[in-house]
Amino acid sequence: MRLYRKEGNTIHILCFPNESVEKGDYLQVEDPKQNKTLLIQVIDIQFASIPGIMEELLRDSTNNGDIVCGESLDPLDVASQITLIQDARLVVCKIRGTIQNEKLSVCSTWLPSRSQSVIGKLSTTALAALLKINDKLPIYVGETKEFSPLKVDATALDGRLNIVTGKKETGKSHFSKLLVLSLIDHGAPVLVLDLNGEYAHLGYTSDGKKNQHYTKIHVLTPASNFKVMLSQTKLRVMLNILVHALNLPGTSAREFRRIWRFLKEHTKLSLHELGEAIRNWQCNHHVKDALFSRYYALVNSGFFTDDPSETITLEDCFQEIRTGGAFVVNLRDISFVDRQIVVEYLLGKLVEMLTGWKLKAVFLFAEEAHLYLRETYWNDIVTRMRHFGVFTTFVTNQPDNIRENIYRQADNIFLFNFTNDRDLDTVSRAAKVDSETVRSIARDLPPHYCLLLGRIVKNFPMVVKVRALNVQTMGQTRLFFN
Amino acid sequence: MLDESADSFAEPSQPKLKTIPLKPIRDETQITAVDVSSMKIGETDVGILCAIRAAIVWKQKHLYRYLRLGPFPFHITEENKNEVYHLFRQYSFLEQPTLDYTGGLSLIYAPTRLGALLERWLQMSIATQTSNSLILWDGSLTAGTQDAPVAVISQLLEIARNRSNIVLAFTKATRLRLLGYLLTDYVHKCTSPCLLEISGYPMTLSTAIHLLGDIYVAKLSGGSCSFRLDVDRKLPQEKAVEATRRLIGNDVLQQSYPETLRLAHIYSTFTANEVIGIQRFLVQAHKLRIVTRPNVRKLLFGPFGKGLEN
């Protein structure tokens, strides 16, 4: 391999086909005179621009037809060198940092010698060791290209905003399950908003037996084993549900606030009493109709109950998993409106618990959040709620449903394959890496290979083959032919 | 390739022109073409590096087949140039060389000279191994140069004739002029396919240079191109015309140029990539150090230094 050109932070390396290099690989350009090594990452591999190659290929392509055929007598085997030149590659790399005195820094203000530099590969394992990315609480995410295990540090997820994205069936849900289980193993409380019921069986092995996580995975199904009483609910949370999930107009909301306070003062805060109060409340009949329709929506959701034996409290739930565990809120098979009611309740309750220090922090995993999270919550989650201790991981196969500012603020991005340019454009807006890296590497990632970006890899993008999990991870997709 | 060694027919000749319309004969006659490329590919401290490649293409039953020979790289120095040259001559001519041509052999012209000798050897091989074929040469049937002695070319043509082969030599760009005009200009208004017969010119262009072929201008298909075509002078004119009719009946002609000969040229030519490959081969296999001489013209004249650098 030879150093050919440098433009900005892009380095071009010339290499022959027998020098195996793949996208995502790290190369070190060692300049013995300067006693420094430039660390670069391969983001694209092209054919070197060879003069006369077009003529040669056109000439040889006539062999493919039936009209012209023949053979070459080349006793010296000169053609092998010509073929080598034909297959010469131009490896496009991005500068990531400098190694000097066995220390890695992001400095890239120098230029190695073109004639003297020695170029070699740096294994992902060696890079991980240099970066010390698995020092404290290791999460075994998978294997590097060299088939050695890659571990990252769970603390890099702590207090961070994460995005797991990729097109369908590339393994992003599998990866988020791996993160959930690893966080649990490290004693973290996790809340999963499970849109498709995929996480409900994390406590079971793939052959249906209970696994070591069984006692730490709690599935909450709204209107079934997850019901709450109005008395457990703050007025602010209820108003959020009414206004944002059920679109209650402002005037009616003000009337509702009065009713709620009245019931609370008389310790009559129940679903039944709320219905009676609305019925008997002296107000405009349009307001009354609006309140009634929302009241019946609450009743019909089945999420609220007056029976104390049916209810659970989130405070008690999180107490159960204080040494690590997950609550999987199964949002499968419930309507869009009911889903929003549940999520409004949960997020409101979480903030309440966190502000009251009833909960230290929680890792929230939100699959396809655009399907249940209202617009205003996005900014809330990445800014205000993060400070309270809600550390969110968004999981989506539709990256354009997440706002640009979310990408810009994301601390970690776990990127799986995307082929669509628009999707790649969206993800490449993330501030943690240059857009060329995202576009080029993500486009060619095989299924179950993930490009790790951000703090988790100390901003040195790494490709990992995500390890398998012995848990029931598959989403239960209904099939017609099977 | 035979050089045209004169710019015009000697005066006071009175050449005559006659247009011969051609009708294709389709009889599956085998057409064989040969071409050789030679190229200087670099310099070392003590000599030059060159490479030669030959291609033989033959058309048989609607199929084109080719045999590519080479590339053969050479490191020619002042010390070994005689040895290399004699080796080539040994295999290229029927008779052992009696004259020492190597005294004046400049390294600059060595690739061309070696290429010409290889071409002669292949022409000989084809002439002796085929029969009832049309053999296409790149160049003319002008003889009398160091690498194309009259005796050798005559003998080549005779062997071909004896095996019922006919040699047709195409010159891509002729310099021959008749009454001040290029030969090929006389055929512009003729309807293709046709031959423009030129007769009445002397058989020698100088004391050394002899024309061993009858000279025609061939306009064998549509398009703006026409070529000087030399056909063995010892063949009757009817045979020459018939051979040309068989050529247009059995080969594809683009711009009046036979496809077989075009392919031979394409398969022998070196591309820039191949030059790099051969350079690499010599460096890797023979540990030769290629030197890059400073371009004196560029050094002296900067952007105005446009001449060739040897």
Q: What domain range includes position B217?
A: 16-304
Structure tokens, B214: 């009858």
Structure tokens, A267: 């310790």
d(CA A190, CA A15): 47
Q: What is the DSSP letter of A456?
A: G
Tens digits of residue pLDDT in A281-329:
888 889 999 999 999 999 999 999 999 998 888 888 888 888 899 999 9
Q: Which amino acid is at A135?
A: D
Task: Tell me if chain A has a CB within 8 Å of the CB of B73.
Answer: yes
Residues A41-79: b if buried by 16+ CB within 10 A, e if exposed: bbbbbeebebebbebbeebeebeeeeebebeeebeeebb
B276·A50 Cβ contact <8 A: yes
- How far does the CA of residue A72 sit from the closest CA of chain B (Å)? 4
d(CA A169, CA A445): 12
d(CA B257, CA B79): 42
Which member of A71, A72, A82 has the closest CB to residue B277? A82
Residue of chain A whose alpha carbon sits nearest to that of B55: A72
Which member of A72, A84, A86 has the closest CB to residue B68? A72
Contact yes or no for A398/A370 (Cβ under 8 A): yes
| Per-residue pLDDT at B245 | 95
Residue of chain A whose alpha carbon sits nearest to that of B74: A76
Checking DSSP bridges between strand A390-396 and strand A89-100, what pairing results, if any? unpaired
In three-state secondary structure terms, A239 is helix
H or E segment and range at residue B36 = strand B31-43
A82·B65 Cβ contact <8 A: no
A84·B263 Cβ contact <8 A: no
Closest alpha carbon to B4 in B180, B262, B177, B194: B177
Task: Tell me if chain A has a CB within 8 Å of the CB of B203.
Answer: no
Q: Which amino acid is at A391?
A: F
Residue of chain A whose alpha carbon sits nearest to that of B70: A74
- How far does the CA of residue B177 sit from the closest CA of chain A (Å)? 34
- Given CA atoms A138, A142, A143, A149 in this order, what sign does their dihedral have? positive
Closest alpha carbon to B65 in A58, A69, A61: A69
* Cα Rg, chain A, nearest whole Å: 29
B266 is a domain residue: yes
Task: Tell me if chain A has a CB within 8 Å of the CB of B278.
Answer: yes
CB contacts, 8 Å: A76 with chain B: 71-73, 281, 285
d(CA B246, CA B223): 20
Domain count, chain B: 1
B273·A85 Cβ contact <8 A: yes
Residue of chain B whose alpha carbon sits nearest to that of A73: B69
A78·B263 Cβ contact <8 A: no
Task: Tell me if chain A has a CB within 8 Å of the CB of B277.
Answer: yes
Which member of A51, A62, A69 has the closest CB to residue B273? A51
CB contacts, 8 Å: A68 with chain B: 63-66, 263
Contact yes or no for A180/A202 (Cβ under 8 A): yes
Which member of A68, A72, A86 has the closest CB to residue B64? A68
Closest alpha carbon to A222 in A150, A126, A314: A314
CB contacts, 8 Å: A78 with chain B: 51, 70-71, 73, 277-278, 281
From residue B84, alpha-carbon distances to B119, B120, B149 in Å are 15, 16, 19
What number is the ipTM of this complex?
Answer: 0.80
From residue B184, alpha-carbon distances to A159, A460, B175, B231 in Å are 85, 69, 9, 16
A52·B266 Cβ contact <8 A: no
B73·A53 Cβ contact <8 A: no
Q: What is the residue-level pLDDT of chain B in tens, covering all 310 positions?
A: 334 544 555 554 567 788 899 999 999 899 999 999 999 999 999 999 999 999 999 998 888 999 999 899 999 999 998 888 888 877 766 455 554 555 567 888 889 989 998 999 999 999 999 999 999 999 999 888 877 888 889 999 999 999 999 999 999 887 777 777 777 778 877 888 999 988 777 777 777 788 899 999 999 988 888 899 999 999 999 999 999 999 999 999 989 999 999 999 999 999 988 999 999 999 988 888 888 887 788 778 877 776 655 4
CB contacts, 8 Å: B284 with chain A: 81
B170 is a domain residue: yes
d(CA B80, CA A260): 109
Residue of chain A whose alpha carbon sits nearest to that of B61: A67
B8 is a domain residue: no
Closest alpha carbon to B188 in B228, B221, B230, B219: B219
In three-state secondary structure terms, B272 is helix
Task: Tell me if chain A has a CB within 8 Å of the CB of B64.
Answer: yes
Which member of A70, A72, A78 has the closest CB to residue B73? A78
A66·B66 Cβ contact <8 A: no
d(CA A475, CA A477): 6
Domains and CATH numbers, chain A: 2-131 (no CATH), 138-226+312-466 (3.40.50.300), 230-301 (no CATH)
Task: Tell me if chain B has a CB within 8 Å of the CB of A7.
Answer: no
Closest alpha carbon to B184 in B217, B208, B213, B157: B217
B2 is a domain residue: no
| Per-residue pLDDT at B8 | 55
Contact yes or no for B51/B71 (Cβ under 8 A): yes
Task: Tell me if chain A has a CB within 8 Å of the CB of B292.
Answer: no
- Chains A and B: how many Cβ contacts under 8 Å? 87
In this structure, chain B runs to a length of 310
Give me the residues of B, 247-276, that contact A with CB < 8 A: 263, 266-267, 271-276
- How far does the CA of residue A455 sit from the closest CA of chain B (Å)? 45
| Per-residue pLDDT at A402 | 80
- How far does the CA of residue A119 sit from the closest CA of chain B (Å)? 20
Contact yes or no for B111/B80 (Cβ under 8 A): no
A53·B271 Cβ contact <8 A: yes
Residue A330 β-bridge partners = A194
d(CA B158, CA B128): 10
B74: domain CATH number is 3.30.2170
A51·B272 Cβ contact <8 A: yes
Query: Any idea which residue has 């056109």 for tokens?
Result: A58
Residue of chain B whose alpha carbon sits nearest to that of A85: B277
Mutation target vs A (from B41, B260, B274, B283; most A CBs, 10 A cutoff): B274
A66·B272 Cβ contact <8 A: no
Structure tokens, A195: 């849109």
Checking DSSP bridges between strand A362-367 and strand A138-143, what pairing results, if any? unpaired
From residue A195, alpha-carbon distances to A151, A476, B56 in Å are 28, 11, 71
B280·A84 Cβ contact <8 A: yes
Other Cβ atoms closer than 10 A to B98: 6
From residue B242, alpha-carbon distances to B25, B169, B302 in Å are 8, 15, 56
Helix axis angle for A271-280 and A250-265, nearest 10°, is: 120
CB contacts, 8 Å: A86 with chain B: 273, 277
| Per-residue pLDDT at B1 | 36
DSSP letter string, B126-187: HHHH--S-EEEEES--EE-BTTB-HHHHHHHHHHHHHTT-EEEEEESS---EETTEEGGGGG
Which member of A67, A68, A71 has the closest CB to residue B67? A71
Non-local CB neighbours of A378 within 8 Å, separated by 6+ positions: A369, A402, A403, A406
- How far does the CA of residue A13 sit from the closest CA of chain B (Å)? 18
Q: What is the residue-level pLDDT of chain A in tens, covering all 482 positions?
A: 999 999 999 999 999 988 889 999 999 999 999 999 999 999 999 999 888 888 888 877 765 566 788 888 999 999 888 888 889 999 999 999 999 988 888 888 899 999 999 999 999 889 988 888 877 899 999 999 889 999 999 999 999 999 999 988 888 889 999 999 999 999 999 999 998 888 888 998 888 888 888 999 999 999 999 999 998 888 988 998 999 889 999 999 999 999 999 999 998 899 999 999 999 988 888 999 999 999 999 999 999 999 999 888 888 888 888 889 999 999 988 898 899 899 889 988 888 888 888 888 999 999 888 777 766 677 777 777 778 888 999 998 888 888 777 888 889 999 999 888 888 888 887 767 888 888 889 888 999 999 999 999 999 999 999 999 888 765 556 677 85
A50·B284 Cβ contact <8 A: no
DSSP letter string, A94-142: EEEEEEETTEEE--------TTT-EEEEE-HHHHHHHHTTTSSSEEEEE
d(CA B5, CA B209): 7
d(CA B79, CA B126): 33
Mutation target vs A (from B56, B118, B121, B273; most A CBs, 10 A cutoff): B273
d(CA B232, CA B244): 12
Q: Which amino acid is at A246?
A: L
Residue B55 β-bridge partners = B35, B68
Closest alpha carbon to A274 in A241, A313, A225, A250: A241
d(CA A457, CA A455): 5
CA atoms within 13 A on the CB side of B201: 25
- How far does the CA of residue A21 sit from the closest CA of chain B (Å)? 22
| Per-residue pLDDT at B14 | 67
In SS3 terms, chain A reads as CEEEEEECCEEEEEECCCCCCCCCCEEEEEECCCCEEEEEEEEEEEECCCCCHHHHHHHHHCCCCCCEEEEEECCCCCHHHHHHHHCCEEEEEEEEEEEECCEEECCCCCCCCCCCCEEEEECHHHHHHHHCCCCCCEEEEEECCCCCEEEEEHHHCCCCCEEEECCCCCCHHHHHHHHHHHHHHCCCEEEEEECCCCCCCCCECCCCCECCCHHHEEEECECCCEEECHHHCCHHHHHHHHHHHCCCCHHHHHHHHHHHHHHHHCCCCCHHHHHHHHHHCCCCHHHHHHHHHHHHHHHHHCCECCCHHHECCHHHHHHHCCCCEEEEEECCCCCHHHHHHHHHHHHHHHHHHHHCCCCCCEEEEEECHHHCCCHHHHHHHHCHHHHHCEEEEEEECCHHHCCHHHHHHCCEEEECCCCCHHHHHHHCCCCCCCHHHHHHHHHCCCCCEEEEEEHHHCCCCEEEEECCCCCCCCCCCCCCCC
CB contacts, 8 Å: B69 with chain A: 72-73
Structure tokens, A118: 């020695």
d(CA A69, CA B63): 8
Closest alpha carbon to A3 in A115, A122, A97: A115
B119 is a domain residue: yes
Mutation target vs B (from A18, A78, A80, A86; most B CBs, 10 A cutoff): A78
A67·B284 Cβ contact <8 A: no
